[in-house]
Amino acid sequence: MKRFIIIENSNSAHEEGIVSLVKLLKLKGLYVVLLLGKINMGRAMELKLDQFADEIHVIGRCSGVFKVLKFRRCDDVIIYNTISVRNSVFTFVTSYGRGRNVYYIRNANSWLKYSWHYTSIVDYFTRNISTYLNKVMLSGAKMILVENSRLKNYLVSSAVKNVEVVPFKLYDEFLQAPQVSAKINFVVPGIVDFRTKRIDMVVDAFLKLDKGIRQRVQLTLLGRTKGVMEESKCREWRLLLGSSFVYFSSFVPVLDFSRIMSECDAVVSALIVQHRCEHFSEVYGLTRGSGVDAHAISHGLPLLVNDDFGVDSEYESSTIKFKDAEELSLVISQLVTFPENLDKLKSVAAVNAQNYSLASIFSNTTLLWEDL
């Protein structure tokens, strides 16, 4: 019996991506096994992944290497859901077991390019050894999975073959209608990290709102603060915006995250599109997935994002772009003053999101079935 084995053994909160993969594979009637690290297992249970997968097993960081190698069979398809610098050795070693390997790529340049900027001797060698291992794995991969067509096109232009799109999050067609709130809630999903997001631009836009408009809106930063600097700034913004500003100092539980997303009216973010993460230079929306558009799409919500961030053509008509805080403030004011415009934008977003439903993605997925 052919098994599709999904491995997640990192600290990254990518379990929602596993949900999308499992649903897609089960719709095809395939046998799905999850091998999860201890941290991932807890979040997976919150998402009730045990109700979707046929088997779930816990693997450790070091002992997991031997467990995976022993577990693999010749006819298995192994899908590595997260490959980071921290776990590239684990992925590299276990990929030499029996069966065929599929890698879900989230940061393309870490697979394609060596990163020569200096940070520390240890990091300098670690990240480039990781890239070397990734290049070796890429050459032997049966298939590559990515979250959007822009990332796929980037890899294909770099001579990577057999790339298939499976979104990080699928549109949930069965979401209950959100409760009517006294305020219009704009949500910035994801960790509050000043290295990758211009949170200050979004907050400035809200500070520029007329007092009457500001009383009718809420800005929610739906993710933990990255560090001391972010936490300190959020406290300052809370004093300025009062109850119109909500943020979280610690990790937001999966179910709480989903609930807040289902109750919001629009997703907003200002990403530093061309940025250098801990190890590599990446471009959000092109070489690296952001999650911002994925969260909007999964709930069929309008997307407000800075004008240099690329979005899928299927979602352009429900996306509003802005160049600075002044322009974003004007956009928000218009949506609040004329709620019929916001309702229309929501309706368009719900229609556009159908392109990312389970049925739609399944019908557009071919390589995952034909080549494996």
For 185, phi then psi, to 5°, come to: -100, 120
Same domain, 66 and 211: no
Same domain, 243 and 152: no
61-69 average pLDDT score:
84
- The CATH number of residue 142's host domain is 3.40.50.2000
Same domain, 191 and 338: yes
- Does 176 reside within a domain? no
Amino acid at 34: L
> Residue 201 is inside which H or E element, if any?
helix 199-207
| Rounded Cα gap, residues 141 and 139, in angstroms | 6
Same domain, 229 and 330: yes
- Does 179 reside within a domain? no
Tokens of 209: 């709102």
- Does 174 reside within a domain? no
Rounded (10°) CA dihedral 309, 312, 315, 321: 20
Same domain, 188 and 330: yes
| Rounded Cα gap, residues 298 and 257, in angstroms | 13
- Does 258 reside within a domain? yes
Predicted TM-score of the model (pTM): 0.89
Number of domains in the chain: 2
| Rounded Cα gap, residues 361 and 123, in angstroms | 38
- Does 323 reside within a domain? yes
Instruction: Yes or no: say if 72 and 65 are a contact pair by the CB < 8 Å rule.
Output: no
If one compares 93 and 117, the residue with the highest pLDDT of the two is 93
Amino acid at 326: E
Indicate if the pLDDT at residue 101 is higher than 70: yes
316-340 average pLDDT score:
96
Cα angle, residue 304 at apex, residues 300 and 310 outer, rounded to 5°: 90
| Rounded Cα gap, residues 154 and 165, in angstroms | 12
C-alpha dist (Å) from residue 230 to 188, 218, 224, 369 = 14, 19, 9, 44
Same domain, 247 and 165: no
What phi-psi label fits residue 48: left (phi over 0), alpha (psi between -120 and 50 degrees) or beta?
Answer: left
- Biggest CA pair distance of the chain: 65
Same domain, 158 and 222: no
Amino acid at 2: K
If one compares 352 and 41, the residue with the highest pLDDT of the two is 352
Same domain, 48 and 189: no
For 305, phi then psi, to 5°, come to: -145, 155
| Rounded Cα gap, residues 86 and 10, in angstroms | 8
Same domain, 289 and 227: yes
- Does 162 reside within a domain? yes
- Does 270 reside within a domain? yes
Domain with 90 in it: 3-169+358-370
pLDDT tens sequence across 186-223: 999 999 999 889 999 999 999 999 999 999 999 999 99
- Does 316 reside within a domain? yes
Instruction: Yes or no: say if 76 and 2 are a contact pair by the CB < 8 Å rule.
Output: yes
Nearest CA to 285 among 264, 251, 313? Answer: 313
Same domain, 27 and 142: yes
Percent of the chain topping pLDDT 90 = 59
Instruction: Yes or no: say if 93 and 9 are a contact pair by the CB < 8 Å rule.
Output: no
Same domain, 143 and 236: no
| Rounded Cα gap, residues 347 and 338, in angstroms | 15
pLDDT tens sequence across 5-42: 999 887 777 888 888 999 999 999 999 999 988 878 88
| Rounded Cα gap, residues 277 and 107, in angstroms | 10
Q: Which residues of 104-120 are buried (b: 16+ CB within 10 A; e: fewer)?
A: bbbbbbbbbbebeeeee
Classified as helix, coil or strand, 305 is strand
45-71 average pLDDT score:
86
Helix, strand, coil share of the chain (percent; to 5): 45, 20, 35
58-70 average pLDDT score:
84
Same domain, 144 and 199: no
